[in-house]
């Protein structure tokens, strides 16, 4: 989602929340004017910011362009504009090699807002560790390949 108008349309069509990624960032850092306009248009509670990290830096434009920013340093400045973050550890996305739990611990320490972890999560131990940190988990390849089973995952939240 890259425009205020698109976000408004999605909310009007019934979306509970919208996610903004690349547009949340400018060359100089957080794109405060855009995020303020977006927050004012749809409400802070309906906005999630995607914070994708590769080699320790936030990446934008489909993970093709790295910024000078780190996730740890931008979470607090982003808080006034959103209700939470979708944080992807791009270094391991889709590889089924595990994720960086320490990175997620640092992110949890940096914000009290809702966090959702993605990228490389491939074992029940990782899922349990993230849930213990009060971090939601987004899974893809681990489910598609059968490494994690939905029945086993469901038992964690029932």
Question: Rounded to whole angstroms, how far apart are CA atoms 118 and 77?
Answer: 21
Q: Give the DSSP H/E element, type plus range, for residue 116.
A: strand 114-118
- Domain encompassing residue 118: 4-157
Query: How many domains is the chain partitioned into structurally?
Result: 1
The CATH number of whichever domain residue 150 belongs to comes to 3.20.20.70
DSSP string for 15-57: -S-EEE-GGGEETTEE-HHHHHHHHHHH-GGGEEEEEEEETTE
Whether the per-residue pLDDT at 137 is higher than 70: the answer is yes
The model's pLDDT over 64-118, given as tens digits with 9 standing for 90+, comes to 888 889 999 999 999 999 999 999 999 988 777 899 999 999 999 999 999 999 9
The model's pLDDT over 13-58, given as tens digits with 9 standing for 90+, comes to 999 999 999 999 987 799 999 999 999 999 999 999 999 999 989 9
Query: How far, CA to CA in Å, does 63 sit from each of 11, 31, 73, 92?
Result: 26, 18, 19, 13
Indicate the length of the chain as a whole number.
158
Look at residue 131 in the predicted model and tell me its pLDDT: 97
């Amino acid at each position: 989602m890259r425009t205020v108008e698109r976000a408004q349309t999605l909310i009007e069509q019934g979306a509970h929340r919208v996610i903004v990624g690349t547009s949340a960032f400018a060359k100089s850092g957080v794109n405060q004017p855009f995020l303020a306009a977006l927050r004012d248009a749809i409400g802070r509670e309906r906005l999630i910011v995607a914070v994708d990290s590769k080699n320790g830096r936030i990446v934008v434009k489909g993970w093709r362009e790295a910024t000078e920013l780190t996730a740890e340093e931008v979470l607090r400045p982003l808080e006034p504009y959103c209700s939470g973050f979708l944080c992807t550890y791009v270094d391991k996305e889709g590889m089924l090699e595990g994720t960086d739990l320490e990175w997620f611990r640092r992110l949890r320490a940096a914000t009290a807002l809702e966090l959702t972890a993605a990228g490389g999560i491939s074992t029940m131990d990782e899922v349990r560790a993230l849930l213990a940190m009060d971090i939601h988990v987004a899974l893809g390849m681990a489910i598609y390949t059968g490494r994690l089973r939905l029945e086993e995952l469901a038992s964690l939240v029932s």
